[in-house]
Structure 1
Amino acid sequence: MPINRPLVTNNDLQEAMVRKLHVRVFQDDHMVNSSATVVRFTDADVVMQSRVSDLTYYSRRSCQFFEVRS
């Protein structure tokens, strides 16, 4: 069973970006992305990449981010 660790702080997101961890994104209690990596983040947004040409911007205010460990 996978373990989900919340990514809340800048340090959490920085670690996920450097280690290229797989991240799940939830918005309004629905999973909107199940396996992406953090490419960049600011105080307002997180940029995720799930495929080579697929970049998606998520709001830090309205989304929750979780590292997935198996």
Structure 2
Amino acid sequence: MAHNRKLISDQDFQEAMDRQFAIRVFQDDHVVDSGGTISRFDDQIVVVQSSLSELGYHSRKACEFFGMRKK
């Protein structure tokens, strides 16, 4: 069973990126991205890679991010 954890701080995003947690991204209470991993982030943007050639660019202010890790 997966454990969902909201990613808020830079430390949260760094841990999710280092451990390659699957990420769910919500915007306006809708899932806009799911299952990818964080490839980069900064104060404004989080880049989520879903496949070899598919990248999603999401605003940190407009979206909520959750890391899904196995218990």
Q: Same fold judged by TM-score > 0.5?
A: yes
The TM-score normalised by the length of structure 1 is 0.93
User: For residue 11 of structure 1, what is the aligned residue in structure 2?
Assistant: 11
Within 5 A, what are the aligned runs for 1:22-37? 22-37=22-37
Where do 5+ consecutive residues of structure 2 fail to align? none
Q: Residue in 2 aligned with 1:61?
A: 61
Aligned length: 70
What is the RMSD computed on CA atoms of the aligned residues? 1.0
Q: Which runs of structure 1 show a deviation greater than 3 angstroms over 4 or more consecutive aligned residues?
A: none
- State, as a whole percentage, how many aligned pairs show the same letter: 51
Q: TM-score, normalised by structure 2?
A: 0.92
In 2, Cα distance between the equivalents of 1:14 and 1:3? 17
